[in-house]
Amino acid sequence: MAKKKNINDMGIDELRVELKNLNDSLFNFNFQKALQQLEHPQKLRHVKKDIARVKTFIKQYELGIKNG
């Protein structure tokens, strides 16, 4: 998962790829949770927050607030 420092350095295309990877991870963690195989439930919270961060940076690029 990407840290905030890494997200700051990414371009919009890299952010979209990261968003797809995070969504895939979230799906897998939810599936594991449903099967009661998820060892660390806090992973769900961290992935959701990372998704929100990436979406925020993508929106900043789209609005022209951040150039890259």
Per-residue pLDDT of 2-28, as tens digits, reads 566 688 888 999 999 999 999 999 999
Let me know if residue 24 belongs to a domain: yes
Helix ranges (H only) for the chain are 4-9, 12-34, 42-63
Let me know if residue 68 belongs to a domain: no
Give residue 7's pLDDT: 85
Let me know if residue 14 belongs to a domain: yes
Sort residue 5 into left (φ over 0), alpha (ψ -120 to 50) or beta.
alpha
Range of the domain at 8: 4-63
Q: Which CATH number goes with the domain that contains 17?
A: 1.10.287
What is the number of domains present in the chain?
A: 1
**39-54 pLDDT per residue, tens:** 899 999 999 999 999 9
Let me know if residue 25 belongs to a domain: yes
